[in-house]
Amino acid sequence: MRTLTVALEGDSYPIRIGSGLIDRQELLLPHLAQPRAVVVTNDVVAPLYLDRLTRTLGSAGVRCESIVLPDGEKHKTSATLETIYDTLLARRCERKTTLIALGGGVVGDMTGYAAATYLRGVPFVQIPTTLLAQVDSSVGGKTGINHPRGKNMIGAFYQPRVVLCDGDTLASLPPRELSAGLAEVIKYGILGDAPFFDWLEANVDKVRARDPDATDHAVYESCRNKAEIVGQDEKEHGVRALLNLGHTFGHAIEAGLGFGTWLHGEAVAAGMVMAADLSRRLGLLDAQSVERIRALLARAGCPVQAPDLGADRYLALMGSDKKVEAGKIRFILIRRIGEACVTADAAPDALRATLALAA
C-alpha cells in the first residue's frame, strides 16, 4: 500500500492506494466518528463489494447500513439526493454517522454532497471503485449533482476523511469505463507533468491490460498530481482551474447529448482534443503535440472526435458552464505538453473553427 496526503489547512487527509483495502478495518476505523456508518452505493457495485465492506466493518463492531441507488449519470439528480436524505432521516442518522461512498464518480459526488448538507455536515469516506473516481472525483472535495441546464451546477466543497483506492475493484470494471478513466489520467500529463505523459505513451497498453504495477503507478501519479494542486488551491480560485482541461467542451457534450449518453471521461477526452486544437489555432501549441495528445487518447480507447451539436449549441451550453466568469467562457488551453493555462479571450473565429471539426 502507498499513501499520499492531501495537505489542507485543518482538513488534511490520506489517500491509500493498493490491493485488498476494503478488507482492512484498520484503514477505516480511525475515520469513523462513531461505530455507525451508512454505505451509499449503486445497484451495479453493491453485488460486487457491499457485503465485503459490511463484513469488514461489522467484524469491528460497527453498525453498518446501506443505501443502494440506481446506476448512471442520469440519476445524479435532486430526486436521487432526496432519496438519500429520506433514508437518513427515516433511520435517525446522527451528526456522527459516517457516510461511505462505495462506487464511481456519481456515487461519490452525491454522497459527498449529502454529507455536506445533511444536518449541516456529517463525516464521509470515499471508496472509489472506478479508475476515473480513483484518480479524479474522489480526491479534492468537489461534490454535487447535475441540473438539466448544466453538469455539477449544484454542489459544495466538502472533503472526505480518507480515500481508499482499492486496485482490486478495477478488475470488474468494463473496458469502456477503464478507458474513460484513462482520459483523466492522461489529463494530468498534459496539464502539468510531461514525464508522466511520456510514461503513459510507453505504458498505456499495460494499463488497459490491467497490469497491476502499471495501473497502481498510473493511479498514484494521478493522485499525486491532483493532491499537489488541491493543496495549493482547495476551492478553485487559481491553479486548480487547470484540472478542468477538456471539461468546458466535455460538459457541453454531456449536456448536449443527454447525461449518461457519453461517459464523463469520454466527453473529457474529446474535449481535450478540442482544447488542443484551439490551442494550436491560437498559436500556443504545435501541431506535433496536438497529434501526440490525440494519438495517446485514441490508444487509451477514448473517443477523439466530438459529436456535432452545432456551433451555436456548443456556445450556448458552454455559456452556461459554472466556469464562466464576467460573462466570458474560460478555457483551459495548452502551451506545451506539461503546461496549461487559463484564458477567457479565445478568438471567436478560432473557437468556431474548432467547433466546426465536430462530426
Active site residues: 120, 142, 184, 226, 236, 240, 244, 247, 251, 264
Euclidean distance between CA atoms 79 and 287, whole angstroms: 45
Q: Are 139 and 15 a contacting pair, CB within 8 Å?
A: yes
The C-alpha cell that represents 21 in the structure block: 483495502
Q: Are 184 and 235 a contacting pair, CB within 8 Å?
A: no
> Largest Cα–Cα distance of the chain, in whole Å?
63
Q: At what angle do helices 78-90 and 105-117 cross, to 10 degrees?
A: 60
Place of cell 468494463: 174
**Sequence-distant (≥ 6) Cβ neighbours of residue 237 within 8 angstroms:** none
**Sequence-distant (≥ 6) Cβ neighbours of residue 319 within 8 angstroms:** 329
Euclidean distance between CA atoms 128 and 144, whole angstroms: 16
The C-alpha cell that represents 34 in the structure block: 462513531
Q: What is the DSSP letter of 94?
A: -
The C-alpha cell that represents 115 in the structure block: 454529507
φ and ψ at 125, to 5 degrees?
-130, 145
Euclidean distance between CA atoms 192 and 274, whole angstroms: 18
